[in-house]
């Protein structure tokens, strides 16, 4: 059984079949298939990360865009400017990390995503970074995708995702 939650043009999650101890989880933001490199999630770890994100957002987590004069795309690019640089300071890393989202293990580690909170809506920026992906999708090179989602909608999708992951019966291996 496949379950789709949300709108692929904003944010969506689709949960599908089991394969041994893994389950297919497809995520979309701004019309882009985010889990295109690895959509088989280890359910325990993935669900735990999703639930942690829900708790963070429910407790008021999520900061506004840090640079008032920049678009979401430009803000994402500015945050990435010194990412991974040999001389990146701990303060720079910590500052950038406060906006990082969708860090849910191997299923989502092919994208860099930031989340900015603006009252009752969230702005999600996503950028693909793997060379193999960019070779297959040259139009994604350097491109930042932006999705705006009402906070309650985003949280509802994540809560629904956690429930669907709980509902499934992991196959017995042996």
Q: Is residue 116 within 8 Å of 123, Cβ to Cβ?
A: yes
What is the residue-averaged pLDDT of the chain? Answer: 93
SS3 state of residue 141: coil
Instruction: Quote the pTM value.
Output: 0.92
**Which CA distances in Å does 97 have to 71, 101, 113, 169?**
19, 9, 10, 35
Distance CA 124, CA 100 (A): 10
**DSSP label at 171?**
P
Bigger pLDDT: 120 or 83?
120
Beta-carbon-side half-sphere exposure of residue 15 (alpha carbons within 13 Å): 23
Distance CA 105, CA 102 (A): 8
Whole-angstrom Cα distance, residue 107 to residue 92? Answer: 26
Would you say residue 172 has pLDDT above 80? no
Q: pLDDT tens digits, residue range 63-113? A: 999 999 999 999 999 999 988 788 889 999 999 999 999 999 999 999 999
């Amino acid at each position: 059984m496949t379950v789709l939650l949300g709108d692929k043009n904003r944010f969506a999650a689709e949960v599908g079949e089991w394969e041994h101890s893994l389950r297919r989880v497809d995520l979309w933001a701004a019309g882009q298939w985010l889990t295109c490199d690895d959509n088989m999630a280890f359910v325990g770890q993935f669900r735990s990360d999703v639930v942690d994100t829900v708790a963070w957002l429910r407790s008021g987590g999520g900061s506004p865009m840090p640079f008032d004069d920049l678009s979401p795309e430009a803000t994402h690019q500015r945050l990435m400017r010194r990412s991974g640089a040999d001389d990146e300071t701990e303060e720079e890393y910590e500052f950038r990390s406060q906006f990082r989202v969708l860090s849910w293990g191997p299923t989502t580690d092919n994208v860099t995503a930031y989340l900015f909170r603006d009252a009752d809506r969230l702005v999600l920026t996503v950028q693909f970074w793997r060379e193999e992906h960019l070779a297959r999708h040259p139009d994604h090179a350097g491109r930042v995708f932006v999705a705006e989602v009402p906070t309650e909608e985003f949280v509802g999708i994540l809560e629904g995702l956690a429930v669907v992951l709980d509902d499934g019966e992991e196959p017995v291996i042996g």
